[in-house]
Amino acid sequence: EGSRWQRKKKPQLQWMLGQIEQVIRSHPEYGQRPLRLVDVGGGKGNLSNLLAETFGEEFVTVQVVDISQSAVRNGEMRAMRRGLGNIRYDAKDATTLDVSGVDVVVALHACGALSDVALGHAAREGAGFVICPCCFRSNPQLRVALPAPSLKNDIELVTVDEWLHVESAAYESLKQLAELQGDIGMSSTAMHSICGLRARAV
């Protein structure tokens, strides 16, 4: 009672579970086959383990992708202790992840450009998504994988400002304003503007 887990993490996970459940249940093949979920930047799998456990093997398979090998090992051990057979962990860069056949892309605390990476995967595959962004200035080196116009079944990696169709300098300003301390109205407007650009890009 009163721990960081009880106050912050658990409510976030429960909220995400509710949002993801709506997307999963709206899928036209829900209940006909296990839907494939990919958790981008899923770390030690707090969200993914909850999804795998809540829905079960009949309804979902979950793939967790994170660049941190230690987080992935931690998540695998937690999943094994809970007896979850419908979850897989991969320690790799999510940028060039093969997401063919994915049904839903999820990401909680997808720092900075990792949100765009996750959204790019969902858009490319026509998948549902539930993405919760944070830290707008993080991971500026990441690229978004989009269909290559000249090569069939191939991808090209583009910068986030190219993906969003916005000038680089303007986007940098928006990201700085999104993390502005002391002016909640301004930072909120900037965050919503970035999310609006992302929605348009999708």
Q: Six-digit token pair at 140?
A: 């500026």
How many angstroms separate the CA atoms of 150 and 73, rounded?
A: 39
pLDDT at 151: 63
Q: Say what the alpha-carbon torsion angle 56, 133, 28, 33 is, to the nearest 10 degrees.
A: -30
| Residue from 90, 183, 191 nearest 132 by CA | 191
**Average pLDDT of adjacent 10-residue blocks, the chain of 202 residues:** 70 95 97 97 95 97 96 96 96 92 96 96 96 94 87 84 96 96 95 96 96
How many angstroms separate the CA atoms of 67 and 19, rounded?
A: 25
Q: Full-prediction pTM beyond 0.95?
A: no
Q: Tell me the Cα Rg of the chain.
A: 17
- Pairing type for strands 87-91 and 104-111 reads unpaired
Tell me the CA distances in angstroms from 134 to 27, 100, 108, 175, 197, one per residue in order: 27, 26, 9, 11, 15
pLDDT at 4: 67
